[in-house]
A and B are shown apart, each in its own frame.
Chain A
Amino acid sequence: MRLIGLPELIIMLLLLAAPLLAAAPDFDRDVRPILESRCAGCHAGAKPAGGLRALDAQAVRAQGRAVLAAVSGEKPRMPKSGAPLEANQVAVLRRWIESGGPTWWSLKPLAPYRAGQSIDAFIEAKLRENGLAPSPEADRPTLIRRVYFDLHGLPPSTAEIDAFVNDRAPDAYERLADRLLRSPRHGERWARHWLDVAHYGDTHGYDKDKPRPNAWPYRDWVIRALNEDLPYAEFVRRQIAGDALYPDDPQATVATGFLAAGPWDFVGHQELRDGTTDKNLTRLLDRDDMLAATMSTFTSMTVHCARCHDHKFDPIPQAEYYGLQAVFAGIDRADRPYDDDPALHRKRAGVLDRKRQAQVLLQPLLDKVEFAASPELEEIDNRIRDAKLLLAHLGEPKNAAEAEEKRTLQARADRDQKLRQASLEKLVGAETFTSIDRHKAAIKEIDAELAALPKPKLVYAAAPFFERVGNFRPSLEPRNVRVLARGNVNAPGAAAIPGALSALPLLQARFASADDGGRRAELALWIAAKENPLTWRSIVNRVWHHHFGAGLSETPNDFGRMGSAPSHPELLDWLAVWFRDEAGGSLKRLHREIVLSRAYRQSSANRTDGTRVDANNRLLWRMNRTRLDAETVRDSVLAAAGKLDPAMGGPGVQMFWFKNDHSPIYDYARFDPDGEGSHRRSVYRFVVRSVPDPFLERLDCPDPSLLAPKRSTTLTAIQALALWNNPFMLRMSEHLAARAGSASEAVRLTLGRPPTVEEAREFGAYAEKHGLPNLARLLFNTNEFLFAD
């Protein structure tokens, strides 16, 4: 990766230009005196005039526009008595209102970094305030199991446990954590968390649910980015606008797979005609998904709630929702070529851009033909469609009569096709076709250039340009987005202005770019800006959530008023700033800081004084016990059975029987648990949206069509049956038995410890009577195997 090139320079310049550095007025110091002296005479008390309390900062700001209108202008309506406000007073008021001067915790700017603090200092201070002490450190076997599941999503081997338990060096745990963070297993584990949030899948979802064979390069990119510890700001920028900001880095294009990761309405995009209500709705909802994923994931704001009206709880006007729609108005989700060789990648991009430009010239002519209409043409079209329908319904002729019917229909359709062409030429003029031919010839030449290049790789990603399929075609330039009254596609209002949220006063919320790449680049920079407090709070909270089983804010995708306020706001802010400034956005350093903390290393054992004060353990007086998530269960079973295949990357493993029908069939029951690729880690499975893997689903693996910042833990009979009877579990029980050879070794391989005397007797007797595979099955179903203390 080159360090400084033109694009990087542009980024730096934009970064410098982005923040509006004018200091916002302070409510108490600057604004309150004005309101107190000039407004609170009427707008206060039990029955304030107009229901507005002048000294309620939030209320005034909520009605900011009306307040400003009342006090400014030639003859201001307010104040009712006395002279109008002075110009500089209005200006202060205006600046304060427009600054949106955040009063809400997540929107407030982050304070500068304070040295001499630590996670434990914050946690322990709060515990002391509540009369509690932290719990002692967990024992070594517990600790190594905990940190392995957490950082790798896999259990430690018996040798690793022994080595750690016997390592008496004071830095044994520290070295263990460092080793785990260096291993590629770490990226696989944490990529799965990220893919939950990104709602990644290998099929489109909806009706038909067609496979999406080129989604996986994005999944591999996430794994690699985490393993290589890509600084978080870059991690963010690449996923939103990698293609625009890093044109020399082919992998940056792959990263935009984030925007395309969600479901896609195949029928709506490919079969519906342009200009229809349902087509417009399909596109609106498609962009809505990109927008919701982007803003929820990176900023933990629920901007998607402002599609039909201003956000009911957070300072997000409806117009800004559509401003974000406009940011995504130049892309669709489609396969996009890329090359590993940067020079070739760049060259291809250049040729493709010329092709796009040629298409811009050709498209209006094609549209003229496509949307030409006359009664004659309509009649011919109806006949052609009728013939096509009947042919499709007929299928393969089963007898002579049907064969004859097919021939007749086919002949009719061919004849009508000729009539159609003649009628069309009459309508749009033969010269239209001559021009089309000329432009097509130019495109053909460009196609020849493309064909001469080596075959590219493909990734399903944000695509500003691609080959038309059916009625799915590129926009060529950003589509017009309008503010829709009540979110209704048939009630378009003013044109949307591309931009982000004005609720963050230090950042420029309106974007200047007209083109797709520029708009997305501006959003990427807005999100990844140092001055964006949401971004940095969001990521440290997300990481915290996965380490502890609960975030400091328990709603990782919602830092608004409907979300949960942080249990330790000072810690969250300090950690966000530490991560951004001191750790340089290194996620590995953040993980390290957390897993090395005393808070993380505590025992999970219950204490009556703790439950009395804080039953939900929000204060972290002990560690939380976790049930392993679906993928960790599956991977741990494979690991214990000695079958885990460590191969990394590549196309998703289809752990089901597949038939590529009109609506493809995904049948998990007809799959051999020892079939090809079936022992790979779960992160590499081919994720089907419409038909979830029933085994993983029963262990609360979330629906890949929804943004899943956290997983639920249910414990049901159906789940017990899956763990007890699923063919995968039974086959692995046999493999574990074969590997272990004895009851006590089977216990060590599953529970990471030798059996107690009592267990040795019971397990030995059971294995003797019913065979070792039955004991293996039992061990996989124990609470001890499925929970980490």
Chain B
Amino acid sequence: MTRRDFLWTHGGGLGGIALARMSAATHHPPRAKRVIQFFMSGAASQCDTFDYKPRLLKQAGERWDPGEKVELFQSNPGVVMPAPWSWKQYGQCGKWVSSLLPETASCVDDIAFVMSMQAKSNIHGPATFMQNTGFILPGFPSAGAWVSYALGSLTDNLPVFVCLPDPRGVPPNGPANWSSGFLPAAHQATTIRVGTPAPIQDLFPPDAVKFVSKEAERDGLRLLEQVNRRHMEGREEDSRLEARIRSYEMAARLQLSAPEVLDIGGESAATRKLYGADEAATSDMGRRCLIARRLLERGVRFVQVWSGADNGFPRRNWDSHENLAKDHGELGTSIDRPVAGLLRDLKSRGMLDDTIVHWTTEFGRMPCSQGSKGRDHNPFGFTQWLAGGGIRGGVTHGATDEWSYKAVEKPVYCYDIHATMLHLLGVDHTRLAFRHNGIDRRLTDVHGAPLTEIVKS
């Protein structure tokens, strides 16, 4: 059994033993220790947020003709449709941002914008898989699972990889988006449903179960360990038996630390305000971002925060086919202060230096209208951004054409983003592989290279 086999079999997920030893598993000295990823489910529009194109204003309402046949997901191209928001330049770098995201805009000098993203599918399910796992098929491990597999944990008390889904529901593909795929189950995300009575499944017995008391619990766990130790006599060589005994100790630690990390009562009024944790429009995302910071602070490696659920009606994610001003308007407001708040908070606590912040979505939206007020899917060009953890602030990478339709300068797939992320974590993306059904699988498939331009030298 290799060391890594041992670690993931024996509790990699919460792997106490992982801590000391796994720091040696990096391929080069890391710039970052942890990642927080915001996923805008349903496809957040680039041309309404970060990708400013004056031509859309100039030719507003004219028939859109990019000079080639355009294949759209649901519709035929409508007219040129400018953002229903105004645009302004921000920061030292002068980055154009729409008035939909003023708070994020005030952080542009810490952010590297990748303006030339492309996706390999124009369907939500496959494209959402791609941003999460590098593949447009189900069954592959998510980036968080790969990071867990590669680096193990920073703490004995909390999971390595945590997912905070939108309380309105899970995104397209459901929990398969944060699964461990063919990696051992220990690397899947632990889902925390913030604000529900039992945020972590099975952390405690359900209230309805009356026969379990505190004393029964305490005596029972003690006796269980005794019984299991006795069973090990003559079976000492089987490390799985010892690992199971330890797994109950770690479970007990999680029972202690999880309620503490989820309780934001002790955060100052100023901090709560920074995240918009107490205002109706932002409180959901604000609270989740605040909890995300607490998780990162206490040693969680990878936190994924979702904005938006599935693509159903009434609209509950960014899939604004019908009425973009309304749906993007509400969602933009709901994430703007919380996300910016997290950036500022991490920075003021000195955590931004070794925390990668990644804002992502499965694809973008068309610069033309769908119907009269919506936009259809655009896998040909969209925006993501990164900050912290060794990322250069105030830079942009690549560009779309004059319409914000296609990535024309330095086109980027998720492979490069994932490669960059792994690079900053000290991992060479070409060497992080797992043999499955005959292929050495990677997060980056057979592609990708770190985007050195957006990495601090």
Residues in A lying within 8 Å of B, measured CB to CB: 205-209, 263, 265-268, 271-272, 276-278, 281-282, 285, 289, 292, 296, 302, 304-305, 378, 381-382, 385-387, 389-390, 392-393, 395, 555, 557-558, 560, 562-563, 605-606, 611, 616, 625, 627, 661-663, 665-666, 669, 689-692, 694-695, 697-698, 700, 703, 705-707, 709, 712-722, 724-727, 730, 733-734, 759, 762-763, 766, 769-771, 773-774, 777-778, 781-784, 786-787
Cβ of B437 and Cβ of A557 under 8 Å apart? yes
Cβ of B219 and Cβ of A706 under 8 Å apart? no
Cβ of B138 and Cβ of A727 under 8 Å apart? no
Closest CB in chain A relative to B141 CB, distance in Å: 10
Q: How far is the CA of A773 from the CA of B220 in the complex (A)?
A: 11
Cβ of B311 and Cβ of A207 under 8 Å apart? yes
Cβ of A302 and Cβ of B213 under 8 Å apart? no
The residue from A706, A714, A773 contacting B138, defined by CB atoms under 8 A apart: A706
Top 7 nearest A-B pairs (CB, nearest first) are A207-B125, A662-B312, A302-B438, A690-B174, A706-B139, A386-B371, A663-B310
Q: Which residue of A lies closest to B223 (CB)?
A: A766
Cβ of B76 and Cβ of A692 under 8 Å apart? no
The residue from A281, A703, A774 contacting B176, defined by CB atoms under 8 A apart: A703
Cβ of B8 and Cβ of A714 under 8 Å apart? yes
Cβ of B205 and Cβ of A669 under 8 Å apart? no
B144 part of interface (Cβ distance < 8 Å)? no
In the assembled complex, which residues on chain A have CB atoms less than 8 Å from the CB atom of B248?
A: 717, 720, 724, 781
Closest CB in chain B relative to A721 CB, distance in Å: 5
Cβ of A778 and Cβ of B220 under 8 Å apart? yes
B186 part of interface (Cβ distance < 8 Å)? yes
B202 part of interface (Cβ distance < 8 Å)? yes
The residue from B188, B212, B236, B250 contacting A774, defined by CB atoms under 8 A apart: B212
B173 part of interface (Cβ distance < 8 Å)? yes
Contact with A along B366-406 (1 / 0, CB 8 A): 00001111100000000000000000000000000000000
Q: How far is the CA of A268 from the CA of B379 in the complex (A)?
A: 14
Q: How far is the CA of A616 from the CA of B224 in the complex (A)?
A: 29
In the assembled complex, which residues on chain B have CB atoms less than 8 Å from the CB atom of A285?
A: 136-137
Cβ of A718 and Cβ of B121 under 8 Å apart? no
Cβ of A268 and Cβ of B201 under 8 Å apart? no
B68 part of interface (Cβ distance < 8 Å)? no
Q: Which residue of A lies closest to B140 (CB)?
A: A706
In the assembled complex, which residues on chain B have CB atoms less than 8 Å from the CB atom of A766?
A: 219-220, 223
In the assembled complex, which residues on chain A have CB atoms less than 8 Å from the CB atom of B13?
A: 714, 716-718
Cβ of A385 and Cβ of B74 under 8 Å apart? yes
In the assembled complex, which residues on chain B have CB atoms less than 8 Å from the CB atom of A727?
A: 206, 208-209
In the assembled complex, which residues on chain A have CB atoms less than 8 Å from the CB atom of B452?
A: none
With A717-B11, A725-B202 already in contact, the answer to whether A390 and B216 are too (CB < 8 A) is no
Cβ of B312 and Cβ of A663 under 8 Å apart? yes
Q: How far is the CA of A209 from the CA of B209 in the complex (A)?
A: 33
In the assembled complex, which residues on chain A have CB atoms less than 8 Å from the CB atom of B89?
A: none
Q: How far is the CA of A413 from the CA of B188 in the complex (A)?
A: 47
Cβ of A272 and Cβ of B435 under 8 Å apart? no
Cβ of A305 and Cβ of B438 under 8 Å apart? yes
Q: How far is the CA of A385 from the CA of B120 in the complex (A)?
A: 26
Closest CB in chain A relative to B164 CB, distance in Å: 16
Contact with A along B209-231 (1 / 0, CB 8 A): 10111011001100110111001
The residue from B223, B238, B439, B440 contacting A762, defined by CB atoms under 8 A apart: B223
Q: Which residue of B lies closest to A708 (CB)?
A: B182
B19 part of interface (Cβ distance < 8 Å)? no
Residue pairs across A and B with Cβ atoms less than 8 A apart, 18 shown, are A209-B173, A278-B73, A281-B121, A385-B76, A386-B370, A389-B371, A390-B373, A393-B322, A605-B234, A606-B238, A694-B201, A695-B202, A713-B240, A714-B13, A717-B251, A725-B202, A762-B227, A770-B215
In the assembled complex, which residues on chain B have CB atoms less than 8 Å from the CB atom of A616?
A: 1
In the assembled complex, which residues on chain A have CB atoms less than 8 Å from the CB atom of B321?
A: 389
Q: How far is the CA of A389 from the CA of B313 in the complex (A)?
A: 11
Cβ of A278 and Cβ of B237 under 8 Å apart? no
In the assembled complex, which residues on chain A have CB atoms less than 8 Å from the CB atom of B314?
A: 393, 395
With A713-B240, A715-B240, A770-B220 already in contact, the answer to whether A558 and B74 are too (CB < 8 A) is no
Cβ of A278 and Cβ of B201 under 8 Å apart? no
Query: Which of B14, B212, B374: most chain A Cβ within 10 A?
Result: B212
Q: Which residue of A lies closest to B377 (CB)?
A: A278
In the assembled complex, which residues on chain A have CB atoms less than 8 Å from the CB atom of B123?
A: 207, 265, 267-268, 271-272, 278, 282
With A606-B235, A714-B186 already in contact, the answer to whether A721 and B254 are too (CB < 8 A) is yes
Q: How far is the CA of A616 from the CA of B186 in the complex (A)?
A: 23
Q: How far is the CA of A692 from the CA of B1 in the complex (A)?
A: 29
- Additional 7 contacts, C-beta under 8 A, given A663-B311, A770-B215, A783-B241: A557-B438, A663-B169, A665-B169, A766-B223, A770-B213, A782-B224, A783-B232
Contact with A along B158-199 (1 / 0, CB 8 A): 010000000001101111100101101110101000000010
Q: How far is the CA of A49 from the CA of B216 in the complex (A)?
A: 79
In the assembled complex, which residues on chain B have CB atoms less than 8 Å from the CB atom of A692?
A: 175, 179
With A265-B126, A706-B139, A715-B9 already in contact, the answer to whether A782 and B228 are too (CB < 8 A) is yes
The residue from A267, A611, A719, A782 contacting B124, defined by CB atoms under 8 A apart: A267
Q: How far is the CA of A22 from the CA of B8 in the complex (A)?
A: 51
In the assembled complex, which residues on chain A have CB atoms less than 8 Å from the CB atom of B220?
A: 766, 770, 774, 777-778
- Complex interface residues of chain B between 281 and 317 (CB less than 8 A to chain A): 309-315
Contact with A along B60-81 (1 / 0, CB 8 A): 0000000000010111101000
Closest CB in chain B relative to A158 CB, distance in Å: 19
The residue from A304, A691, A730, A782 contacting B205, defined by CB atoms under 8 A apart: A730
Q: How far is the CA of A515 from the CA of B206 in the complex (A)?
A: 58
Cβ of A783 and Cβ of B182 under 8 Å apart? no
Cβ of A207 and Cβ of B124 under 8 Å apart? yes
Interface size on B, residues (CB 8 A): 104
Q: How far is the CA of A611 from the CA of B241 in the complex (A)?
A: 17
B-side interface mostly: loop
B10 part of interface (Cβ distance < 8 Å)? yes
In the assembled complex, which residues on chain A have CB atoms less than 8 Å from the CB atom of B169?
A: 663, 665
In the assembled complex, which residues on chain A have CB atoms less than 8 Å from the CB atom of B139?
A: 263, 703, 705-706
Q: How far is the CA of A613 from the CA of B224 in the complex (A)?
A: 34
Query: Which of A705, A766, A783: most chain B Cβ within 10 A?
Result: A783
- Complex interface residues of chain B between 22 and 40 (CB less than 8 A to chain A): none
B128 part of interface (Cβ distance < 8 Å)? yes
Closest CB in chain A relative to B419 CB, distance in Å: 19
Cβ of B126 and Cβ of A206 under 8 Å apart? yes
In the assembled complex, which residues on chain B have CB atoms less than 8 Å from the CB atom of A777?
A: 212, 220
B57 part of interface (Cβ distance < 8 Å)? no
Q: Which residue of B lies closest to A308 (CB)?
A: B446
The residue from B1, B137, B211, B247 contacting A717, defined by CB atoms under 8 A apart: B247
Cβ of B243 and Cβ of A715 under 8 Å apart? yes
With A207-B128, A725-B204 already in contact, the answer to whether A774 and B247 are too (CB < 8 A) is no
B20 part of interface (Cβ distance < 8 Å)? no
In the assembled complex, which residues on chain B have CB atoms less than 8 Å from the CB atom of A278?
A: 71, 73, 121-123
Q: Which residue of B lies closest to A763 (CB)?
A: B223
Q: How far is the CA of A393 from the CA of B321 in the complex (A)?
A: 9
The residue from B175, B203, B244, B322 contacting A389, defined by CB atoms under 8 A apart: B322
Closest CB in chain B relative to A230 CB, distance in Å: 26
Q: Which residue of B lies closest to A394 (CB)?
A: B322
Q: How far is the CA of A705 from the CA of B175 in the complex (A)?
A: 13
With A557-B437, A562-B435 already in contact, the answer to whether A725 and B205 are too (CB < 8 A) is yes
B430 part of interface (Cβ distance < 8 Å)? no
Q: Which residue of A lies closest to B374 (CB)?
A: A389
In the assembled complex, which residues on chain A have CB atoms less than 8 Å from the CB atom of B211?
A: 730, 733-734, 770-771, 773-774
In the assembled complex, which residues on chain B have CB atoms less than 8 Å from the CB atom of A689?
A: 138, 176
In the assembled complex, which residues on chain B have CB atoms less than 8 Å from the CB atom of A271?
A: 73-74, 123
Q: How far is the CA of A694 from the CA of B185 in the complex (A)?
A: 11
The residue from A205, A263, A272, A387 contacting B73, defined by CB atoms under 8 A apart: A272
Cβ of B176 and Cβ of A690 under 8 Å apart? yes
Q: How far is the CA of A395 from the CA of B198 in the complex (A)?
A: 33
Q: How far is the CA of A721 from the CA of B176 in the complex (A)?
A: 21
B99 part of interface (Cβ distance < 8 Å)? no
In the assembled complex, which residues on chain B have CB atoms less than 8 Å from the CB atom of A395?
A: 313-314
